[in-house]
Amino acid sequence: MNSTEVYVLFGPPGVGKGTQGELIEKKFNCSRISTGDIFRENIRNQTELGIEAKSYIDKGELVPDSVTLGMVENAIVEVAKNNSIIILDGFPRNVNQAEVLDDICEKYHYVLKCVIALNADDNVIIQRLSDRLTCKKCGTTFHKIYNKPSKEGVCDKCGGELYQRSDDTPHAIANRLDTYRSTTEPVLNYYQHSGKLAEIDASASPEDISKTVFKLFSS
Ligand code: ADP
Ligand code: ZN
């Protein structure tokens, strides 16, 4: 069997990593790991990890690496059992996590293929996040103005209830953007000379962005 290929979806909060991740999953035969989704599931189920993570997430801070790294390694190893392509959404989010991802790839003989870095201006991001609605059940996102659900408050995909994430509030959004610019964005430098970095302007529509993103997978 060929070694498992890892793709990273990188970028500020609300830039569309989740949306693109879902489109990639549907089009190509692969599986996505969203650290944010794993944390939210743990919060819903009130696990120890969820309780610890919630205080950081609600403030718009990163969950400490001591909590995140083991969780991610387990998730990757589990998913790699049945998938030859893995999409990471929301990891790595600091330089230490990027280094650990290299260690994980070396340890299990995975190949880091590409870091797909989406970017958009802060005002675009704030607009997207402030009016974002998320499905409680399946995590699909909508927007109160640009991407309304057919029926108010109900997910088009699964019928689940839509809510505003506790970190999609003005204060938490501002913190998440600060954290991104100070701690996460330096990860781009880490990959700068790896030949694996693909930077994409994500202010366009999801369909237009996905055309560019899909090319990275077909090549
Ligand atoms: P977004 O990309 O919209 O900010 P996510 O759902 O990816 O949302 O993440 C939500 C929150 O979960 C982050 O603000 C952070 O607190 C936490 N989180 C997600 N991924 C990581 C990570 N790799 N390391 C630390 N914290 C993380
Ligand atoms: Zn849903």
**pLDDT tens, position by position, for the chain (219 residues)?**
578 999 999 999 999 999 899 899 989 889 999 999 999 999 999 999 999 999 999 999 999 999 999 999 999 999 999 999 999 999 999 999 999 999 999 999 999 999 999 999 999 999 999 999 999 999 899 999 989 999 999 999 999 999 999 999 999 999 999 999 999 999 999 999 999 999 999 998 888 999 999 999 876
Give domain status of residue 206, yes or no.
yes
Q: Residue 90 is part of a domain; what is its CATH number?
A: 3.40.50.300
Beta carbons within 8 Å of 79's beta carbon, 6+ residues apart = 31, 33, 86
**42 belongs to a structural domain:** yes
3-state helix, strand, coil in the chain (%, to 5): 50, 20, 35
Total domains in the chain come to 1
Distance separating alpha carbons of residues 140 and 4, to the nearest angstrom: 26
Asked whether residue 213 is domain-assigned, the answer is yes
Identify the DSSP state of 154: B
Is 86 in contact with 33 (CB distance < 8 Å)? yes
Has residue 91 been placed in a domain? yes
- 146 in a structural domain: no
For residue 141, the CA-to-ligand 1 centroid distance in Å is: 15
Q: Which atom of ligand 1 is nearest to the CA of 97?
A: 23
Nearest CA to ligand 1 atom 7: 36
Judge whether 56 lies within some domain.
yes
141 domain-assigned: no
Instruction: Identify the nearest ligand to the CA of 161 by its number.
Output: 2
Ligand 1 site: residues with CB under 6 angstroms? 13-14, 17, 35-36, 39, 56-57, 60-63, 68, 90-91, 93, 97, 167, 176
- Domain assignment present for residue 139? The answer is no
Boundaries of domain holding 89: 5-122+169-218
